[in-house]
Amino acid sequence: MKRVRPLDQQGFTIPELLVALGMVLGLCVGAYYVLRPQSFDPQTRDAQRMVGASQLMVGLEKYYADNGHLPTSITSKKKVVGSDKDSANLCTDLVPKYMKDLPLDPTWGVEIENGGCSAKNQQYIASYLVSATASGGHTILYVAAPMAEGSSIHLQRTL
């Protein structure tokens, strides 16, 4: 004998609720993979670090081509690009003539004020390393992104 629901009893059955919950859950999972922010992807951040290191290298090459030497804050000791006392403060040397602004690491780069490294009283840490050594009458320039999440990112050019 078939059970008939009384007319005054309203609602959904357990199987109907489970099917609806499964559909909503499927849509949420699909939306996550389609719409997730790319900035959370380590490969994307490492690609941004590679671009930043390349931009810094190109800016320093242009500076060297114009002046015949690198900025004085770049030494044989690896230094973080930033405005701290022991950092390589490249902003005044490179911005705006050779670069629009210094690149910042997507995770660890910090600016205290908005407006780039050249903003008044700006303190910044780009979180890139720079150094240079002399070898056989040439200068070897080294730029690295030490905070890379995948394989290490370092560039080296002979000037």
The model carries a pTM of 0.72
Mean predicted confidence (pLDDT) in 3-23? 80
Average pLDDT, the chain: 86
Beta strands in 62-137 (DSSP E): 79-82, 110-111, 124-135
Write out pLDDT tens, residues 19-51. Answer: 999 999 999 888 877 776 655 688 888 999 999
DSSP tag of 111: E
